[in-house]
Amino acid sequence: MKKILSVFVALALMLACIPVCVSAVETPTFSAGTVSAMPGDTVQIPIRIENNPGIMACIVSVSYDPAELTLTGADYCDLFTGGTAVPGGNLSLIPFNLLWYDYTANQTASGDFFMLTFKVSENAVAGDKTITVTYSADSTFDVNGDNVAFETQNGAVTVQGGWSFSEDCFLYTYVSENDENFICGVNSIDDPFMSDYIETFGGWSFNVEYNDLDVESTGSKLTILDQSGTAVEEYTLIYLGDVNGDGVINGMDIQLLLEIMTDSDTWDFLFTDELPQTFAADVNVDGTINGMDIQCIMDCIAHDDFPFQFIDCPVPER
C-alpha cells in the first residue's frame, strides 16, 4: 500500500510540474539581469532573449530611474550570426531602445542579446533599482512577417547599504555573553572620536548617544541605522584608558583602575557583567587589568592630559 501511495504521489508531482515546466521552457522572453552593487559602482546588466522561437527583427526597450542609475554603455553581444544591431543612440534617452534586424532569415539563438553598463549614483539608497523591460510587438516579427509574442521580465540593480570603519582606526570589537557589542580602539589625537572613523553608504546612517557624563567616551552608544531609519546594530563604545568615561585620561582613571584591581568584589563584578569600564581599564587589551595598564595610562599622562588613548601595544586575540 505504501509503495502504491508513493507511486501516486510521484505521478501527482509529475503532473503538477508539467504545465509549469513546459511554460517556463517554451515562453519566449526578453529579460534583464539582476546584479548587486555598491553606491558609486559601475555594473553590467545583460538583456537576454530566452526561448527564442525565431525572429527577423525586434525592438526591446529598457527604462530605469535616472536619479539613481546612469546608462553609460550599450553593446550588442553578437548573439546572432547575421543581422544588424543598433543599440540605441543617445544613452540618456528613457526608454532606451535596442533594435535588431536581419531581413534575410529567422534567427533562433537564445542568450545575452545586449549588455548595458550603468553607473550607480554615489547617493543611491539601498534597495532594488528596477530595470523595466518592454518590447515593441509591432516591430518584433519573423521571416513571414508575423508578429512574435514575447513575455518580458524586469531586472534590477540591487544597491547595498551598510557601514564600515576606516582602516586607520585601530579597532577591537567584542560580543559579550549578554550579546552586547563592545567596540574600542581609536588611536588618534587629532580625531579622537570613534564617530570620526565610521562611513555609511546606501542611505544608512549612525547615531552616537553620549554617556552618563554627557561626552562621547567610554559607555557611549553607537547605533547603526539602515535606509529606513531602523536600528540594525548597536555598540557600546570603549575609549581605552578613559576608565571613568569623562573624556580625558588622567589620575582619576588610575584611581578607578586601582580600585578595580584591589577591590576583588568590584573587579569580579565588573568582569562578570562586562561593563565598559572594565574594557577601558584593560588598556593594552591583553585580557587582564594590572600594572601594565597603569603604565600605559601614565605614558599618556606624561604627554599631558590626552583626550583619549595613545597606545602602541600589540593586541592579542581574545
DSSP states of 122-166: TTPPSEEEEEEEEE-STT-B-TTS-B---EEE-EEEEE--EEEE-
Helix 251-262 to helix 291-302 angle (10° resolution) is 180
Stretch that binds Ca ion, among 64-72, 185-193, 263-271, 284-292 (CB under 5 A): 284-292
Q: Is the dihedral of CA 188, 189, 190, 192 positive or negative?
A: positive
Minimal distance in Å, beta carbon 289 to Ca ion? 6
Question: At residue 261, what are phi and psi to the nearest 5 degrees?
Answer: -70, -40
Residue 226 touches Ca ion, criterion: CB under 5 A: no
Output 87 or 219, the one with its CB closest to Ca ion.
Answer: 219
Output 173 or 228, the one with its CB closest to Ca ion.
Answer: 173
Output 17 or 252, the one with its CB closest to Ca ion.
Answer: 252
Minimal distance in Å, beta carbon 193 to Ca ion? 15
Residue 50 touches Ca ion, criterion: CB under 5 A: no
Among 54, 150, 290, CA closest to 282: 290
Minimal distance in Å, beta carbon 287 to Ca ion? 7
Residue 286 touches Ca ion, criterion: CB under 5 A: yes
Q: List the x/- string, 171-200, binding to Ca ion by CB under 5 A.
A: ------------------------------
Among 294, 287, 190, CA closest to 241: 294
Minimal distance in Å, beta carbon 179 to Ca ion? 24
The partner residues of 42 in beta bridges, in order of sequence, read 119
What is the rounded distance in angstroms from the CA atom of residue 253 to the CA atom of residue 242? 6
Minimal distance in Å, beta carbon 243 to Ca ion? 6
What is the amino acid identity at position 63? S
Stretch that binds Ca ion, among 8-16, 25-33, 283-291, 297-305 (CB under 5 A): 283-291
Among 135, 131, 129, 63, CA closest to 94: 63
Residue 284 touches Ca ion, criterion: CB under 5 A: yes
Minimal distance in Å, beta carbon 248 to Ca ion? 5
Minimal distance in Å, beta carbon 34 to Ca ion? 49
Q: List the x/- string, 242-281, binding to Ca ion by CB under 5 A.
A: x-x-x------x----------------------------
Instruction: Please give the biggest Cα pair distance in the chain.
Output: 95
User: Which string of b and e fits 11-40 if b means at least 16 CB within 10 Å?
Assistant: eeeeeeeeeeeeeeeeebbbbbbbbebbbe
Residue 61 touches Ca ion, criterion: CB under 5 A: no
Residue 282 touches Ca ion, criterion: CB under 5 A: yes
**Under the rule (CB under 5 A), what is the footprint of Ca ion?**
242, 244, 246, 253, 282, 284, 286, 293
